[in-house]
Amino acid sequence: MVGAERIGNWPRSVIVVGAGIVGLSTAWFLQDRGVQVDVIDRGGVAAGASWGNAGWIAPGLAIPLNEPSVLRYGLRSLLNPAAPLHIPATVDPGLWAFLARFAANCRWSSWTRAVRDNLPLNDESVEAYDVLTANGVDAPTVRAPITAAFRTPKQAEGLLRELRRLARAGQRVDHVTLRGEQVSEYVPLASDRLQAGVRIDGQRYVDPGGFVHALGRAVMARGATVYAMDVADVRTDDRKVIVLSRNGTPLSADAVVLATGAWLPRLAARWGVRVPVRAGRGYSFTVPVDRPVPGPIYLPDVRVACTPYQGALRVAGTMEFRDPDAPRVPARLEAIIGSARPLLDGVRWEERTDVWVGPRPVTPDGSPLIGATRAPGIYVAGGHGMWGLAHGPATGRLLAEQITTGKQSAALRAFDPLR
């Protein structure tokens, strides 16, 4: 792309690097404001974390990771390779520096601040999806409660306390407690070990890969080209921002948005983005089931999320801090199955397909990075952790407004990439 003249001081042409839900949403909302957009991704549309996650549009459960109990749990699980949170033994100093900053943020004051900062993204998450689906993105969002299931009412009380903390921080979550046979009503696959539950109302889910591919088609139908190339560098001159591929091919535009997920620091660090982003890798797979599943299932005690998916069940779980490009670890997959198998009946675990591992971009303070860097015309959007799918369209909508007006909205101040 060769950039055209600017409208006032704001860009008329933008290159978005990253074709996941965050990058494509930003592209779509920029196009909606009259900007010419092209997209670059080394693997194509939905090649990263946007394809294999649980597909939840769940503002009621978009809970920051830096809860104090996560730190205690993480320390206990360090030597347990089957634990849902896994930190491999490594000499990577960058990882340990990140974990030290994360640990420093695992306190209630930091967690509460992250909850409050995320309120605008939660408030706009469903509406932003509705804007997309009402204007050419041909993929459904399904309304359904998410049912969290537990062995005992005492275990359910942990989630209920968390929901009360969210409410005190301003995030009201409609929910209903369930007991005994009520759990089976919403979770027909529940084994007799699940005797308590919490139904989280007002949520939705999507086929994540299907939705992101539909969004990509909509962006291309509006005139964008999606380039499959690996970006080596981003530079600026007096007039343009220049994106260089590893084979030296240059593309230029008035502005660039870096939306590369767990790989964000590779391109953004030189432009003043110092908040580290690490890959909290998640695993998923699809399994046939003997009974229909009416809505998403959450198993908090084993950190497993399940979603109806093409007549079967997508099962997702674990948080593994490894390099985003590292091969998958079979033991992590077996750990998910081993933890969920006693809790769900009628699941044909041995017939699993679509086995996937993807890197979720995690920041140490529980808040994403959205906005301008120190270089004119270079913006970033990433670091949403487990909630990139839920917050992606709202992020794109708010960032497109900032790029085309030059004004940072109050909703984005807490996510300043230069913080």
Contact 59, 370 (CB under 8 A): no
Q: Say how far apart CA 256 and CA 46 lie, in whole Å.
A: 19
Backbone angles phi, psi at 378, to 5 degrees: -115, 120
274: number of CA atoms within 13 Å, CB side? 5
Q: Say how far apart CA 115 and CA 117 lie, in whole Å.
A: 5
Which residues, given as ranges, of the chain have pLDDT below 50? Answer: 1-7
Q: Say how far apart CA 345 and CA 266 lie, in whole Å.
A: 44
Model pLDDT, residue 79:
59
Q: Say how far apart CA 285 and CA 353 lie, in whole Å.
A: 6
Contact 37, 14 (CB under 8 A): yes
Tokens at residue 372, please?
């301008």
State pLDDT tens for residues 100-133: 999 999 999 999 999 999 999 999 999 999 999 9
Model pLDDT, residue 76:
63
Strands 304-309 and 297-299: antiparallel
Nearest alpha-carbon partner for 244 in 5, 13, 86, 15:
15
Domain 13-415, second-level architecture:
3-Layer(bba) Sandwich (3.50)
Tokens at residue 395, please?
């992020």
Q: Say how far apart CA 194 and CA 157 lie, in whole Å.
A: 14
- Rounded to 10 degrees, the C-alpha dihedral 398/402/407/409 comes to 10
Which CA distances in Å does 104 have to 225, 277, 288? 43, 15, 42
Domain-by-domain residue ranges, the chain?
A: 13-415
Model pLDDT, residue 81:
65
Model pLDDT, residue 84:
72
Q: Say how far apart CA 220 and CA 214 lie, in whole Å.
A: 10
State pLDDT tens for residues 227-261: 999 999 999 987 899 999 998 889 999 999 999 99
| Beta-bridge partner residues of 39 | 16, 226
Contact 199, 182 (CB under 8 A): no
Model pLDDT, residue 73:
65
Contact 306, 299 (CB under 8 A): yes
Model pLDDT, residue 85:
75
